[in-house]
Structure 1
Amino acid sequence: MTVSDELLLEVRDLTVDFGSLRAVDHVSFSLRAGGALGIVGESGSGKSATAYALLDLHRGTGARVGGSVRLAGTDVLTAPERELRRLRGGSVAMVFQDPLSSLDPYHAIGDQIAEVHRLHSGASRRAARARAVDVLDRVGIPDAARRARSRPHEFSGGMRQRALIAMALACEPRLLVADEPTTALDVTVQAQILDLLHELRTDEGLGLVLVTHDVGVAAGSVDDVLVMKQGRVEERGPVREVLGAPRAPYTRALLGAVPRLDGPPARSLASEGEPLVTARELTKVYGRGPRAVTALDGVSLTVRPGESVGIVGESGSGKTTLGRMLVGLLEPSAGTVAYGGAAAARDGRRPAVQMVFQDPASSLNPRRSIGESIADPLRARGDRDESALRARVDALLTRVGLDPAHYDRYPHEFSGGQRQRVGIARALAPEPAVLLADEAVSALDVTTQAQVVALLDELRQELGLALVFVAHDLAVVRQVSERVLVLRAGKLVEEGPVERVYTHPADPYTRRLVDAVPVLDPADAAERRARRREARAEPGRAAPAGV
């Protein structure tokens, strides 16, 4: 793809203030037509606030925006409303992080895309519907004419994200701004979306601004990268130079926090004692008759004292269903879960397995303080000594790296990483034998993710816990797990030591999962993208693995 000499986007001294908080502090950058810029940083770095300013989405929110944003010669920040509406969707379009909140649940996907096209182009209903089918087909939605009549809940997460990209393409924009477009997706779907964005740049000549906390995502997707911290630019330059030889300590810290497939394996603490959990031939079927769906199909698993077991697979693979059955939140349709050893010795007051959920914001009661939430499982088992309860909660808060003085604060007063630490403290409160983490770090940026993963490993060593780590991110699983189970469509397709499964996967599905994990070397990322494209061009051929 050739990058034009034409200056498509020019940002100068951009500032964004929310009350007394300066979220973006004199940021400047430019992008030429057909180029791709990555904006990376932790949560709170100002990267999304910067992206929103490119379309002046802060207008009318109370935020104060300064500086200038010129898009194809027009100053976005001073353009009148009519001109701004013409620019949005016409010259520039945005793909948001959460497609469910961006799509109307009551209307068909195709109708929503057609309405955007009509609004900006004045096309007839028939022409707009035809355009909707065209762009859905362009982004890889199979049987686009039929699926255009589907509503958002009938699409998978990856297909919904494709639909958002199709909506953005409906009016042939020159610039696409993608704000964390793959955060909630498993590795294979993430790779598909990133490959699609690359193909759109190649085939359509689109400019791309990609906002992400995952440095690996940026490595294979952009030409230049802007590293932000607390609203300021810490480092900028060609992606190969910034990631290959970072100058700023913050950039080096970001890169150091990225989980890697070639990193050291988890330390083994497993003993030869009696298994804590033994699951045999677990099956879960939802519904009856021809509409029955088998979410899990005859999966067996053992967890020994001190062991860390990873469970990986794409969305819909059955990994969360398996985890919930191990905890007792779901009854199996067939098969058994038995607790032995120290887990069987639980006295009814101390559960065998406790769960750390994916989204701490929704698993914590917003009307109860975090201290009370941690104390809840203790009260549920009958503890009534308030001074002992307070001491136990204070000790747990300290152990997970939080200040006991924050006992009376509420969940909304904490960051995502801090809320997840609260969730871990609550799970530890009743002293389980096994801790089950279900996608516990999937919504966190890489540095916070690394801190939470390190905390889980410390707790396993210090308390002698066994850990079951459920995740779609294979690189994170490698950090914390000695053994891994790979699930696909409810079936166990591969199991073994992490080192062997990742380096020499036996099943083609595992090889595809491994090959889809983002890497930090742009050249390696390009080679993997080429292999995936070749595999898609040859039906039935699996993409080769690469670690």
Structure 2
Amino acid sequence: MSLVEVTDLTVEFGSLRAVDGLSFRLAEGAALALVGESGSGKSTVAGALLGLHRGTGARVGGSVHVAGTDVQQASDGELRRLRGAKAAMVFQDPLSSLDPYYAIGDQIAEVYRVHTRASRRAARARAVEVLERVGIPDARRRSRSRPHEFSGGMRQRALIAMALACEPDLLIADEPTTALDVTVQAQILDLLHTLREETGMGLLLVTHDVGVAAESVDEVLVMRHGKAVEHGPVGTVLGAPAQAYTRELLGAVPRVDAPRAAVAEASDEVVLEATGLRREFGRGRTAFTAVDDISLTVRRGETLGIVGESGSGKTTLGRMLVGLLPPTAGGIRYDGRPHTGVNPAVQMVFQDPVSSLNPRRSVGESIADPLRARGEHDERIRGRVLELLERVGLEAAHYDRYPHEFSGGQRQRVGIARALAADPRVIVCDEPVSALDVTTQAQVVALLGELQRELGLALVFIAHDLAVVRQVSDRIAVMRRGQVVESGPVDEVYDTPREPYTKQLLAAVPALDPELAAQRRAARRELAVA
């Protein structure tokens, strides 16, 4: 008997058909990945398995059976019993799924009590048990912590613990590793694999990252425009794809072992130099050093890649280079002269364009801000903004639209246009493609490269995705705990890393070959035991 059986599923939102005649099965204990670009319908399918579209105005057709429940015909009570008890979901953003006011353990205990009617004491004990199971250290004490006191990886583990509380037959994981660095991502994927082995639960993984699918599942279903493009064993689909779209999707995936792509011709002219940068937060016993004695140079026309795990100090360093954070010690020189504060010639493209764009202002007005700040006349501003919109691949008609009307890739193009408005010589890109699917990611990377070649820009490219960094960078600096532990030409550092930490980062990058992924997982497991 199938754990999940979906037949001719359609989901419509108004005139938009998000899922169009999709059918698939998932056997008990098996793992299937839904893979595709943003907007392909993956998350809509995941929501349909739990009846999450009920009451939203969406029109759902076809049939969906999950763990013996006919989701389409089930009553509200039957759906409540299905969710959490038989099938549980782990969402992409744990902060939006966890209540900031309550301790993690209390939230897990509440889920357990709802489905089992257990006592408070038993529910708290169960919360500690599942937190230990997902690898939270000192689980009894940490169960009393609130979400903001956990790192991103620990919050994701807490969500998985909540999903496991009632021992479901099916775990639905919707982009569970998108915002995580490579080592934490590897830990979460290893955890999901181990839990499948130990519990026999089935896994439906929703992801735009083909490498994550190779690490985690038995079968892959490639989606596009709400339809199935290709479906089969993971080794076959990723190793010998039959469909052109699947080949295109795989071709857009950056490879950590691939030769560096052609980049702009760098000069010997140093445009930005940092010497002995240090940044502390807090005072006294609570003082924390985020960046500790870092020196670096950035030359005209080159790209300096900066990689490291979350918490390594990458973003703090980038904000100091732009002038958004004053250093506690050390200094910055621009064009050979000391500089403090914000420098219009050094701009930043942020990780999350949604939070960096004012939702109440049109994107054209946001792009115009740097022009107004330097005193440009109003009659020239609109024309310059229209030029910039077209320069980054958008349309002049987009001037009066608002951020929510754009896709993630389009919003990132708006962020790049705003940075270009100040006519910078250096752009610091802080995780500019981390939340984008591989094809959109490739388009944004290509745009940055094109702008760099045309304008002679220097780029500082901060990212946790080592494959993307290799693709775009001339030189690389590897950060750990606020310090640069290794640096040099990108091919040299990637091909012959000296530091164990650099080797560890490279070993955690997902492999597209399922057999290699299994070997790496076994090696990580042996290392953890040792």
Question: Separation in 1 of the partners of 2:417 and 2:379?
Answer: 18
- Does the 8 Å contact 1:267/1:482 carry over to 2? no
2:160 aligns with one of 165, 178, 187? 165
CA deviation string 1:43-102 (max 9, x = no partner): 100000000011111111111111111122220121111111111111100001111010
Question: Separation in 2 of the partners of 1:350 and 1:324?
Answer: 11
Counterpart amino acid of residue 204 in structure 1:
T
1:372 aligns with one of 365, 377, 387? 365
CA deviation string 1:431-482 (max 9, x = no partner): 1111111011111111100000000011111111011000111111011101
Residue 498 (structure 2) aligns with: 506
1:198 aligns with one of 193, 202, 206? 193
2:429 aligns with one of 420, 424, 437? 437
Other structure's SS at 1:70 match? strand
Residue 441 (structure 2) aligns with: 449
Q: How does 1:130-209 map onto structure 2 within 5 Å? A: 130-209=125-204
- Does the 8 Å contact 1:350/1:431 carry over to 2? no
- Does the 8 Å contact 2:219/2:234 carry over to 1? yes
Residue 66 (structure 1) aligns with: 61
1:368, CA displacement in angstroms?
A: 1.6
1:193, CA displacement in angstroms?
A: 0.3
1:515 aligns with one of 501, 507, 523? 507
Structure 1 regions of 5+ residues with no counterpart?
1-5, 539-547
Question: Separation in 1 of the partners of 2:30 and 2:468?
Answer: 31
2:458 aligns with one of 454, 466, 471? 466
Question: Separation in 1 of the partners of 2:196 and 2:36?
Answer: 23
Question: Separation in 2 of the partners of 1:514 and 1:349?
Answer: 34
- Does the 8 Å contact 1:158/1:185 carry over to 2? yes
Counterpart amino acid of residue 311 in structure 2:
G
2:307 aligns with one of 309, 312, 330? 312
- Does the 8 Å contact 1:118/1:125 carry over to 2? yes
1:253/1:162 CA distance change after superposition, 3 Å: same
CA deviation string 1:323-351 (max 9, x = no partner): 0000000000000011016xx699x9982
Residue 401 (structure 2) aligns with: 409
1:350/1:112 CA distance change after superposition, 3 Å: closer
Question: Separation in 2 of the partners of 1:387 and 1:81?
Answer: 58
TM-score, L = length of structure 2: 0.98
1:481 aligns with one of 473, 488, 494? 473
1:382 counterpart = 2:351: no
Residue 8 (structure 1) aligns with: 3
Counterpart amino acid of residue 173 in structure 1:
P
Counterpart amino acid of residue 409 in structure 1:
R
Residue 542 (structure 1) aligns with: none
Question: Separation in 2 of the partners of 1:322 and 1:70?
Answer: 50
- Does the 8 Å contact 2:67/2:87 carry over to 1? no
CA deviation string 1:359-408 (max 9, x = no partner): 11111112222112111101101111x33222221221111111112211
Q: How does 1:28-39 map onto structure 2 within 5 Å? A: 28-39=23-34
Other structure's SS at 2:159 match? helix
- Does the 8 Å contact 1:417/1:444 carry over to 2? yes
CA deviation string 1:284-331 (max 9, x = no partner): 000111110101000111001111000011111000000000000000
Residue 93 (structure 1) aligns with: 88
Deviates more, 1:456-465 or 1:262-271: 262-271
Counterpart amino acid of residue 48 in structure 2:
A
CA deviation string 1:161-206 (max 9, x = no partner): 0000000000000100000000111111011000000001111111
Question: Separation in 2 of the partners of 1:123 and 1:221?
Answer: 33
Give the % identical residues: 72
Question: Separation in 1 of the partners of 2:40 and 2:264?
Answer: 37
Residue 330 (structure 2) aligns with: 335
CA deviation string 1:142-176 (max 9, x = no partner): 01111111111110000000000000000000100
1:42 aligns with one of 37, 56, 59? 37
1:249 counterpart = 2:208: no
Deviates more, 1:265-274 or 1:233-242: 265-274
- Does the 8 Å contact 2:331/2:338 carry over to 1? no
Deviates more, 1:93-102 or 1:60-69: 60-69
Question: Separation in 1 of the partners of 2:67 and 2:155?
Answer: 29
Question: Separation in 2 of the partners of 1:124 and 1:135?
Answer: 17
Counterpart amino acid of residue 270 in structure 2:
P
Question: Separation in 1 of the partners of 2:33 and 2:514?
Answer: 13
Other structure's SS at 1:487 match? strand
Residue 531 (structure 1) aligns with: 523
1:267 counterpart = 2:262: yes
Counterpart amino acid of residue 54 in structure 2:
R
Counterpart amino acid of residue 354 in structure 1:
Q
TM-score, L = length of structure 1: 0.95
Structure 2 regions of 5+ residues with no counterpart?
none
Residue 496 (structure 1) aligns with: 488
1:47/1:349 CA distance change after superposition, 3 Å: closer
Residue 213 (structure 2) aligns with: 218
Residue 391 (structure 1) aligns with: 383
- Does the 8 Å contact 2:90/2:174 carry over to 1? yes
1:349/1:112 CA distance change after superposition, 3 Å: closer
Counterpart amino acid of residue 232 in structure 2:
G
Question: Separation in 2 of the partners of 1:475 and 1:239?
Answer: 21
Counterpart amino acid of residue 82 in structure 2:
L
Other structure's SS at 2:527 match? helix
- Does the 8 Å contact 2:127/2:143 carry over to 1? yes
Question: Separation in 2 of the partners of 1:270 and 1:331?
Answer: 31
Question: Separation in 1 of the partners of 2:343 and 2:498?
Answer: 39
Other structure's SS at 2:428 match? strand
- Does the 8 Å contact 2:301/2:452 carry over to 1? yes
Question: Separation in 1 of the partners of 2:264 and 2:8?
Answer: 52
